[in-house]
């Protein structure tokens, strides 16, 4: 090998070594995040399980531990205790931020309430919302979301405060079925999937989803702990990006999504398929908070007695971690 050829080989080797040093991939472990869900199977919340199972969060460098809670307040307690990094819940939990919970809403993940609906007994003569006037409506409990939504219905329909009589019967399937059969209530407001399941057994049926009369209210909302925001904002961005990619997957993979969600909820794939069709439009495509949702939430916090006075909503959420 002549001198020039030898020099060229040495330079090429040096360039390759430097290129690997400067531009080569660096080994790094996935970022571990604990995600708390306000409910195990609620439609706006369950996409995190879908994204986890098909590997989308892993693809974005996130190693998730998913924990189910029985209610938004339990999820917020865990966030306050530092036990979770991301909260997967509803817009109503934003009220806890006004009370000092160390978190911030970072994504409006779902807008409306098609996953809640009004159900009636299978053989009920009630065929439309108008037929409900003057009837007895089952709710989970006084002061609950279902109680508030019943008041919203009477207000929007102009029926006045006595347009419906509310009866607290809980939200369990057995209790609702018993109330239908004994005439304790004429209708109930609860999970849409519950009434779809009842229809399969000709016990009850879905009259209308709540989204037929209630507009945007940030029914699905993602939260990040203040600690995560301060120490690893890139992880917040990665989670939101993975969430939005998961929703794209859900929109284009109905069969796969129905199968995963059916296994998680215990609903038949037939029921889950109908629920999928009803709820798919509620998912947002950008995670941005819309003005109608914020205004409705601001009003609901006082009406649900979560807060004594309407809060400054701008202090409860941020869009700083959304995709540009």
pLDDT of residue 29: 65
- Cα separation, 84 vs 237, in Å, equals 17
**CA distances from residue 213 to 128, 310, 322 in whole angstroms, order as listed:** 12, 23, 30
Q: Mean pLDDT by 10-residue block, N- to C-terminus, for the chain (324 residues)?
A: 39 33 40 96 96 97 96 95 97 96 98 97 97 97 92 95 94 95 97 96 97 95 98 97 98 98 96 97 97 96 94 97 88
In angstroms, the CA 224 to CA 105 distance is 7
pLDDT at 9: 34
Burial level of 143, CB count in 10 A (0-12/13-18/19+)? middle
Q: Which of 53, 46, 6 is nearest to 265 (CA)?
A: 46
Residue 213 class from Cβ within 10 Å (0-12 exposed, 13-18 middle, 19+ buried)? middle
What is the per-residue pLDDT for 324?
A: 73
Q: What integer pLDDT is reported at residue 161 of this predicted model?
A: 84
pLDDT value for 221: 97
Dihedral (C-alpha) 284, 287, 288, 292: value to the nearest 10 degrees? 40
DSSP 290: P
Beta strands in the chain (DSSP E): 31-37, 62-68, 86-89, 103-110, 116-121, 136-139, 165-168, 187-191, 204-209, 220-225
How large is the angle between the packed helices 173-182 and 192-200, nearest 10 degrees? 60
Q: CA–CA separation, 317 vs 313, rounded Å?
A: 7
Spatial CB neighbours of 301, under 8 Å, sequence gap ≥ 6: 92, 94, 95, 98, 307, 310, 311
* Residue 166: strand pairing partners: 137
Q: Whole-model pTM?
A: 0.87
**Cα 238 from Cα 222, distance rounded (Å):** 13
Q: Identify the bridge partners of residue 190 per DSSP, sorted by sequence position.
A: 117
Rounded to whole angstroms, the Cα distance separating 144 from 139 reads 8
Token code pair at residue 60? 């974005």
């Amino acid at each position: 090998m002549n001198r020039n050829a030898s020099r060229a080989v040495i330079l090429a080797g040096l360039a390759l070594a430097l290129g690997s040093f400067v531009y080569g991939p660096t080994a790094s472990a996935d970022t571990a995040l604990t995600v708390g869900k306000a409910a195990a199977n609620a439609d706006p919340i369950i996409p995190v399980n879908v994204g986890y199972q098909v590997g989308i969060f892993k693809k974005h460098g996130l190693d998730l531990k998913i924990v189910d809670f029985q209610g938004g307040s339990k999820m917020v307690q865990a966030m306050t205790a530092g036990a979770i990094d991301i909260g997967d819940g509803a817009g109503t939990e934003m009220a806890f931020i006004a009370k000092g919970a160390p978190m911030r809403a970072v994504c409006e993940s779902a807008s409306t309430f098609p996953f809640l609906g009004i159900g009636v007994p299978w053989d009920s003569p009630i065929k439309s919302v108008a037929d409900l006037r003057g009837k007895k409506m089952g709710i989970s409990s006084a002061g609950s979301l279902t109680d508030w939504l019943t008041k919203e219905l009477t207000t929007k329909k102009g029926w006045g405060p006595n347009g419906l009589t509310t009866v607290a019967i809980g939200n369990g399937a057995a209790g609702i079925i018993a109330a239908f059969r004994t005439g304790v209530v004429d209708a109930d407001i609860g999970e849409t999937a519950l009434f779809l399941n009842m229809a399969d057994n000709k016990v009850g049926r879905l009259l209308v989803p709540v989204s037929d009369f209630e507009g945007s209210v940030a029914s699905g909302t993602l939260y990040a702990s203040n600690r995560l925001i301060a120490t690893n904002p890139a992880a917040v961005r990665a989670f939101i990006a993975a969430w939005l990619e998961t929703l794209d997957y859900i929109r284009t993979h109905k069969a796969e999504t129905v199968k995963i969600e059916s296994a998680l909820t215990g609903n038949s794939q037939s029921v889950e398929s109908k629920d999928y069709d009803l709820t798919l439009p509620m998912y947002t495509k950008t995670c941005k908070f819309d003005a109608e949702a914020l205004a409705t939430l601001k009003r609901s916090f006082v009406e649900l007695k979560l807060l004594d006075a309407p809060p400054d909503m701008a202090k409860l959420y941020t869009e700083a971690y959304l995709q540009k």
